[in-house]
Amino acid sequence: MAVVSTPATLERAVPVMDNAEVLRIRNDFPVLNQMVNGQPLVYLDSGATSQNPVSVIEAEQEFYEQRNAAVHRGAHHLAVEATEVFEDARQTIADFIGADYEETIWTSNATEGLNLLSYALSNAGLWAAQGRGDQRLGELALGPGDEIVVTEMEHHANLIPWQELAFRTGATLRYIPIGDDGNLRMDQAGGIIGPRTKVLAFTHASNVLGIINPVKELAALGHAAGALVVLDACQSAPHLPLNVKELAVDFAVFSGHKMLAPTGIGVLYGRQELLDILPPFLTGGSMITTVTMERAEYLPAPQRFEAGTQRISQAVALAAAANYLTETGLDRIHAWEAELGQRMVAGLESIPGIRVLGPAAGKERIGLAAFDVEGVHAHDVGQFLDSRGIAVRVGHHCAQPLHRRLGLTATTRASAYLYNTTDDVDRFLEAVAGVRGYFRA
């Protein structure tokens, strides 16, 4: 079998995915087999929400048909089976990201995971001040003089929770800027991350620029300063091999709906020794050991952060999605998407009046491309493409500061996944080439 050389993030050559295999994969995704505005659907919006294969749909349906019951609460047959598949799903996801079972917490999405973490850290200060909990909580508490560092390319979900944490605690929020090419100014990072840094939070792969950030280098800078390192893996976990232990991050988040699973399910990874001492975010049933009328004692992670009835069917479906990706091969998926991404960027760069954000053709990126069409608003571009059966994302992509830095208010973004073919990309490029003429720009 032929092999392809992949970007530097991959350590070995992998078997090539090709259009014939991708067309077979597409048959697993019912929603893709439809016509939109009289033309076959080209779905290039997986960076926002991916589609679901039959195996994932059936996994959730089978749970409701055969095992629907509350977990961790009943002794009857259905409750036991529901608990087993729920916790089996947790182990599947832990294995998927190279974590331990106890370090894998269910959330509704990555946004909830980041808010959980930011509120737990602000509660750490309250608990420490009252002498409550582990004595190490004082080391995690933030206050005036402390700093939280993010980057200029962050999605709002990995920016606003840290803004609010700074507001609640009196800490200062700083950021690592980007250069004109979109890459982080790593030459400035060492001067920004320092002794006052308590949290360093950054994206693994930009949802606008397509850039893959140097996680290990940033994590080393953060840990050298004694900071907690938080990784937004929303655009990496679905697309490339991810091992949180090898990346040496303290926390990581990602969402199921971007990796073939349903909405309403996400994951927070955290090092167990940190999770077990952090105060909980939500409180109630299922996360306690003892409750009196005056106070409560809490379970260790992961149950410590899973109050109330959980997202059981969604967790089961997320495990099925992880299995689908693992069986296909994330290294192969990453290589194929990188090829599609290069095809998109090279094609867009050849069209007059198009400005592509992020790395130029030939430079490493994930399989997405955000671009500006001179003289045409992004929403008009999106509607034009939709009229030709092509689904893309328009707007600021929940990254207003990044767009502002680049002198833009909105862009159009095409994002590929394992079910897209080169023909999808070519149809997209052909349509984009007609935009300015259509609008007489």
pLDDT (average), residues 294-320: 96
* E runs forming strands in 278-415: 288-291, 296-298, 354-356, 368-373, 390-391, 393-395, 411-415
- Displacement of CA 358 from its chain's centroid (Å): 18
Q: How many whole angstroms separate alpha carbon 374 and alpha carbon 372?
A: 6
Average pLDDT over residues 202-230: 98
Output the CA angle 214-398-339, nearest 5 degrees: 50
Beta bridge partners of 390: 42
| 2 vs 322, more confident | 322
pTM of the predicted model as reported, rounded to 2 decimal places: 0.95
Question: For 147-197, what is each residue's pLDDT tens digit?
Answer: 999 999 999 999 999 999 999 999 999 999 999 999 999 999 999 999 999
**Tokens, residue 75:** 């002794």
Cα(6)–Cα(117) distance, rounded to whole angstroms? 35
Backbone angles phi, psi at 231, to 5 degrees: -110, 125
Q: Alpha-carbon distance 316 to 152, whole Å?
A: 35
pLDDT score for 13: 57
Short-list 379, 370, 395, 420, CA closest to 41: 420
Q: Which residue among the candidates 398, 405, 408, 439 is catalytic per the annotation?
A: 398
By CB neighbour count within 10 A (0-12 exposed, 13-18 middle, 19+ buried), where does 239 fall?
buried
d(CA 298, CA 49): 35
CB 322 within 8 A of CB 329: no
pLDDT at 424: 98
pLDDT > 90: what percent of the chain?
A: 95
| CA pair distance 102, 106, nearest whole angstrom | 11
The whole-number average pLDDT for the span 305-327 is 97
Read off the amino acid at residue 247: L
Question: What are the structural domains of the chain?
Answer: 3-51+329-438 (3.90.1150.10), 67-326 (3.40.640.10)
Identify whether 398 is a catalytic site residue: yes
Q: What is the pLDDT of residue 5?
A: 38
What is the percent of the chain where pLDDT is above 70?
Answer: 97
Here the tokens at position 71 are 């977990």
**Tokens for 381?**
């571009």
Q: Is 289 helix (H, G, I), strand (E, B) or coil?
A: strand
| Span 192-212, pLDDT tens digits | 999 999 999 999 999 999 999
CA 422/CA 426 separation, integer angstroms? 6
pLDDT-derived band at 14 (thresholds 50, 70, 90) equals low
pLDDT at 327: 98
> C-alpha angle with apex 128: 123 to 129, nearest 5 degrees?
100
If we measure between CA atoms, which residue out of 28, 47, 60 comes closest to residue 262? 60
Cα separation of 104 and 97, whole Å?
9
Give dist(CA 201, CA 117) in Å, integer: 11
